Structure 1
């Protein structure tokens, strides 16, 4: 049994040239795609929780530390995406450098990560949507907004938005990108408005004490808010639908992360300066802070816009999920239904709906609770592997053309891997337990189905 067999890079590049997907995305589309995925629940929800429970006013430092870990990984993503512009993100990159077994593990974790993000954000979206309806005097029956565990039937708004996202993605990537672009401009505009208005209400005494929970709180806060940086890896999943992937993918990955990091730091500084950190432990900290300083009108605008802007997170993460499944299915590790492309729309039509229905079921019938740490575990695992993969690829394929190269190799990837591992060990034991349970299920699926049906096993045979 050879679970370390690898896909030849030449074969991957040939597949990308004759892809059945439509190349319609530009560098600007990719930057906006990344911003659409990164800015959402993290900035509208997690800022308050992290400040009140972990970081205090030092939330700025937590975001900076998390951004450093994300930046290291972004450099590696950019190099891989420019050298191997194939759908599948870090799953594909691991397949060509470290073999099928580790590729399966990371692909399996990415499926969980993306599915949980879509489902969790859908539940949050449902809450904002209900608040918006109540402003017009409309109240949905509790049976249609609560899960069976909570005493209802199912969360109808959450199910409806996930299915709407699946329908949009199944119709075409360019159509989805256009909607994302429009919403991203609205999202960034709202955030800039909050920063400009909120800056006039900052009281320096709210930043004292700056480290109420000590440095351990800053580190734990960084592990929690790392959720906020999830999404830029989904940009690399668009590789086979980009007009000029070797040039545009690095721009999209690094550009979106840089813009979002600056916005996160500014928002966290203004937010903790407006309101004492202990009061920010609620699900809408940005709107709450504005209400505390008497800006009720702007707080209402923020709450209403959240219904629209959070949609882009689901849109991009659901997109990334379907492209991971597409790549794994094309490799034979998942059933072929995920790789079938619609003749007219040029999208993995059936796979999009299967993934959408799964995410809708989770959002509608299961109270997901605090998923940020479990999602972070999948992200950080991917970040460790991709940086190791850069080192392996540099050693084995030194002459492979690259549109972008990570500076400071081998030190930069090694340091980035250590930072990601450090954040992983700051996550809770429950998170680690859930991670290993999901990993165990994945191993069973791989050895019962994926290993036997792999295209390498059927066509080329295992490497010798």
Structure 2
């Protein structure tokens, strides 16, 4: 077969249904909501509102969060229909494989793989930094060799990042239901911490800090777009990274009870809860102090509480925030391991990755994800790659949005007719695609360049291994 023929050959959805049938369906709506909220409402809710306000949008940072939420919401409707119609492990990779073909599915999956590898390492490193900041006032400090990644400020290995990633890997290896119980408790604590900040912070708001709500546009000394619609738009591209967690929810479709109802409710519900919390934090934060006070501030929420005389509340909120970061690790590692399992299931990567253990869990894939995340998160500085998470995920979002046009004619035929469908068809899928494209366009040139390099590597892997070992060859 030619390269083109291989690239566009489609998988039979019934094959995926059969291959994933051994995975236990144990996740209910509550569990899916907790996974979604836990992944979306992560480290960024305690940092990004202040950073974006100071660098780009001023008090209008709430509009940046709302604009990003509109785009994410449009795409989430597409994800909800896809996951209801095709509740397979691997989310966008498996769906695109069915509706567009193997090569397109690989591109979408390879894009998400970058998200999971880097995001797990990123959250592990962020948790480490916040934990060290929390215990420092107690007089406990790490030697630099164990506190920082290799080559960063005398660092050799970030030992805290290693420990937390391995601990979450061990938790997930015991099964989804066990992880879900832990996730539900931690997410509840984290939401309470966010609500505590909103309530306490609201008592110290000064209305003058909101004026002007949208500052006049100018280019700052460091080249950032600030104020006006340009500043709001620049903020959207930074903020969108916060909302991509609902993809990790969809990756667990094969383990959801009654996915026709559970997945749409979990995806859309978790995004709605996240939007309310993000906008609430943003509005309170810029009301407490002038937005410029948050410039170069790595912990704006804790700083604002302490400056307002709420030291005890600040400590409690930051302490819960550190514990709550485990929820993002659980969601990302759960989804990432299911994606790698899907690659092995289809022969696109070594078939060992697609094998289930004696408890019908994809723990081989989980081991690989844990090892890679430990290497990236504990040994290498990777802050410059953070936007690659957004770039890769946005490409997958565009594929899924357009995939609705190929899915809809097949529903009720070779693909089940789902109980949930994206409204305003055929207009909304186009709006979702254009919204994701607009956010992608707003990423900086480095993010697009790193994404291009990652996809070139992915195509090489596909041609050298995946295309030759794909199980579709047996047909």
Same fold? TM cut 0.5: yes
Contact residue 373 and residue 431 of structure 1 kept, 8 A: yes
Query: 3-state DSSP class of the match of 1:139?
Result: coil
Asked if 1:303 corresponds to 2:318, the answer is yes
Aligned ranges for residues 164-175 of structure 1 at < 5 Å?
Answer: 164-175=167-178
Distance of 1:33 and 1:107 partners within structure 2: 20
TM-score (norm 1): 0.96
Contact residue 36 and residue 267 of structure 2 kept, 8 A: yes
Query: 3-state DSSP class of the match of 2:240?
Result: helix
Query: 3-state DSSP class of the match of 2:443?
Result: coil
Aligned ranges for residues 351-362 of structure 1 at < 5 Å?
Answer: 351-362=365-376
Q: Deviations over 1:106-125 (max 9, x none)?
A: 10111110111111111111
Q: CA 1:55/1:8 → structure 2, altered by over 3 Å: closer, same or farther? A: same
Q: Specify which of 144, 147, 150 is matched with residue 146 of structure 2.
A: 144
Distance of 2:435 and 2:32 partners within structure 1: 26
Contact residue 346 and residue 470 of structure 2 kept, 8 A: yes
Query: 3-state DSSP class of the match of 1:149?
Result: coil
Q: Specify which of 101, 126, 129 is matched with residue 127 of structure 1.
A: 129
Aligned ranges for residues 267-306 of structure 1 at < 5 Å?
Answer: 267-281=281-295, 282-306=297-321
Distance of 2:138 and 2:306 partners within structure 1: 19
Q: Specify which of 48, 51, 54 is matched with residue 50 of structure 2.
A: 48
Contact residue 149 and residue 156 of structure 2 kept, 8 A: yes
Aligned-residue CA RMSD (Å) = 1.2
Q: Specify which of 440, 447, 464 is matched with residue 431 of structure 1.
A: 447
Query: 3-state DSSP class of the match of 2:8?
Result: coil
Query: 3-state DSSP class of the match of 1:80?
Result: helix
Contact residue 120 and residue 371 of structure 1 kept, 8 A: no
Unaligned runs of 5+ in 2: 216-226
Asked if 1:117 corresponds to 2:132, the answer is no
Q: Which residue of 2 aligns with 1:216?
A: 230
Contact residue 385 and residue 450 of structure 2 kept, 8 A: no
Q: Which residue of 2 aligns with 1:413?
A: 429
Unaligned runs of 5+ in 1: none
Distance of 1:14 and 1:352 partners within structure 2: 21
Q: Which residue of 2 aligns with 1:342?
A: 357
Shift of the alpha carbon at 1:451? 0.2
Q: Which residue of 1 aligns with 2:222?
A: none
Shift of the alpha carbon at 1:367? 1.4
Distance of 2:149 and 2:280 partners within structure 1: 36
Query: 3-state DSSP class of the match of 1:24?
Result: coil
Query: 3-state DSSP class of the match of 2:422?
Result: coil
Q: Which residue of 1 aligns with 2:15?
A: 11
Distance of 1:25 and 1:384 partners within structure 2: 27
Distance of 1:369 and 1:239 partners within structure 2: 31
Asked if 1:239 corresponds to 2:256, the answer is no
Query: 3-state DSSP class of the match of 1:148?
Result: coil
Contact residue 275 and residue 292 of structure 1 kept, 8 A: no
Q: CA 1:402/1:260 → structure 2, altered by over 3 Å: closer, same or farther? A: same
TM-score (norm 2): 0.94
Distance of 1:238 and 1:427 partners within structure 2: 28
Shift of the alpha carbon at 1:421? 0.4
Q: Which residue of 2 aligns with 1:259?
A: 273
